[in-house]
Structures are given as structure tokens and as C-alpha cells.
Amino acid sequence: MTYSMRLTIKATCKMHLRKFPLDRQTCVLLLGSYGYSIKDVTYKWKVPLPVDREEGVNLAQYDLVEILTNEQVLPSSRRDNVSVISVEFRLSRHTGYFLLQVYVPCTLIVCCSWVSFWIDPAAVPARVSLGVTTVLSLTTLGFGGRASMPRTSYATALDWFVILCFAFVFASMVEYACINYIDKVSVQLLTSAGGDRKIQRKKLVVSKRKKRLNRSEFGLNKETFSRIFHWFLRKFRDPWEFVKTSPNKFSAIDIYSRKIFPICFGIFNIIYWIAFIYYIDNEFPIDT
């Protein structure tokens, strides 16, 4: 006796999204009988190809890595065992969309925040506007487009990356606030120690910097172009040469931040990608 029936099933799959969007999911579909025990009906997969998929049919967000089948006997509430067959779909999420839309833009915004370390501390509007712009951009990019993301009660891998990128951008603003505070404290100490000449000299230097920054018209002759060209050649040979030649133009905190921030961000990326790809499990721990 042969009995055939076509069924369209809409099944749900419980997903564990701690590694989202670097996660792999396992969805299990069970087929059995509620009304007949194993004495009446026994389900078996047809060999050698129990489950097949049509060529050219793909999922939008996942790659179907593997299909596994199994036959088992489960106990029922009527004290009779029932025959059940199961199929297990192993899925791997596509990460290209999230790399282009979140990871790469967030990394570039963090790198843009480091430009402030090369701006003269006297240029307050330039540094403040750059810091505020990067913070708002990262906030909009990382936290604004959450409608298309899964809503979970725990932090995912993408959430950790955005939060730590936001911390780096916010730290660059705090760094400039520390520079201003230290400058004010140093001025007060010089005033209390009677260093009026030093203060006047410092004010004169600051006024010259402001005049130089506010100067909008300048001429480029052959001599000026030659000096600019040789300056770029020196910087290309030794990018940190200006640290030695012009120590008074930039704060010591800026000079150290140029190296500390990129190194720390690089270390964070190495730890992040190695941990979430190789060490953190796909399955979210179940409370017992």
C-alpha cells in the first residue's frame, strides 16, 4: 500500500544569537504520529537520498551547509512509544551585508576620530566639531538602524563591536577635554608662581596660532611649493619626525594618543575576531 500527500509546513526555529552575525544555526524538524504508536506505524527515511533540495533555490540570509536525517522512537503520554523521523538543517549566516553596512563604516568612523590628534589644540571649534560629528555618526549608524536587526535580551557580537567603537570615539573627545583641563591648570600654576612673562609669551603664541588658522588667503610661489614638497618627503620617511621638531605645537597627550589609540583598536579587533570565530560557541547557554 502506497499513500502520498503533499504538505506545506511553516515551522519555527529557535535561534541563539550571541554570535550574530557570525553565528551558525541548527533547525530540527520532527515528523511523527499522534494517534498511532510504534506497533501501528513505523516511519523510516527513504534511502539513499531521504531529503533533497531543488537546484537554484537559496535562502536570503543563510547558506544551507548540511542536511542530516535521523530515525528515533519517543515515549508518549499514553505509555506507548511513537515512531518519529527528524531532519536537521545546519545554516550559516551571510556576513557580507553586515561587514559592508556596519563593521567597515564603524571602523572608518573610529579612524576619523583620530584625525583630531593631528589638529592644533588651539583650534577648539575644529576639534570639538570633529569629535561631536564622529560620535553622532556612530550613534546613528550603530544604534539607529536596529529595526532590521533581531531583538534579543542579551548583547550580540555586533552589539559589542558597536559599543566598543563608540567607546573609542568618545575617548577621543575625553582626551581633548583632558588637554584643555591640563592647560588651564598649568596656567594657574604659572600665575601663582609669578610667571607673568611666560604667560604673556604663551598668549602671544596662541594669538599667532589663531591668526594663522584664521588666515584665508595665502600665496603659493615656487619657494613655498618647494618647502611643502620637502616637508612631505620628510614626513614620508619618518611620520613621527614632527614630534621631535615641533614639541610646543602639540600636547604630549596628543603625541602619545597617536600611537596608543590605533594600537589599542588593533588589539581589540584581533581579540574580537579570534574570540567570536574560534572560541565562543554558537549555542547560547541554557539556564538549568
pLDDT tens sequence across 212-255: 545 444 445 566 667 776 766 665 555 555 444 444 567 788 88
CA separation, residue 172 to residues 83, 115, 160, 166, 269 (Å): 63, 10, 19, 10, 18
Range with lowest mean pLDDT among 9-13, 122-126, 188-192: 188-192
pLDDT at 229: 67
C-alpha grid cell for residue 190?
Answer: 604659572
pLDDT for res 205: 56
pLDDT grade for 167, boundaries at 50, 70 and 90? very high
pLDDT for 216: 43
DSSP assignments along 46-68, one per residue: PSS-SS---TT---SSEEEEEEE
Edge-to-edge, what's the strand order for the sheet holding 62-75? Answer: 24-32, 81-93, 62-75
Task: Determine how many CB atoms are found less than 10 A away from the CB of residue 158.
Answer: 22
pLDDT score for 166: 94
pLDDT digits (tens, 9 = 90+) for 89-106: 999 999 998 999 999 999
Q: What mean pLDDT comes out for the span 182-193? A: 73
**Grid coordinates belonging to 170:** 568618545
182 pLDDT above the threshold of 80? yes
Q: CA 75 to CA 81: how far, in whole Å?
A: 4
Residue 264 has pLDDT above 90, yes or no: yes
Considering only 1-10, 67-76, 188-197, 207-216, which range has the smallest mean pLDDT? 207-216
> For residue 194, what pLDDT band results from cuts at 50, 70 and 90?
low
Under the banding of pLDDT at 50, 70 and 90, the label for residue 113 is very high
Instruction: Say which residue, 142 or 250, is predicted with more confidence.
Output: 142
* Residue owning grid cell 531583538: 151
State the average pLDDT for the chain: 80
Q: What is the pLDDT of residue 43?
A: 87
Please say whether the beta carbons of 128 and 176 come within 8 A: yes
Residue 259 grid coordinates: 600611537
What is the pTM for the complete model shown? 0.73
**What pLDDT is stored for residue 105 in this prediction?**
94
Of the pLDDT bands very low, low, confident and very high (cuts 50, 70, 90), residue 152 is: confident
Residue 120: is its pLDDT beyond 70? yes
Alpha-carbon dihedral sign for residues 185, 188, 193, 196: positive
pLDDT the model gives residue 209: 54
Residue 134 has pLDDT above 70, yes or no: yes
CA–CA distance, 30 with 286 (Å, rounded to integer): 21
Residue burial 176-187, b: 16+ Cβ < 10 Å; e: rest: beebeeeeeeee
CB burial string 113-152: b at 16+ within 10 A, e below: bbebbebbbbbeeebeebbeebbebbeebbeeeeeeeeee
* pLDDT on residue 201: 60
- Name the DSSP class of 242: H
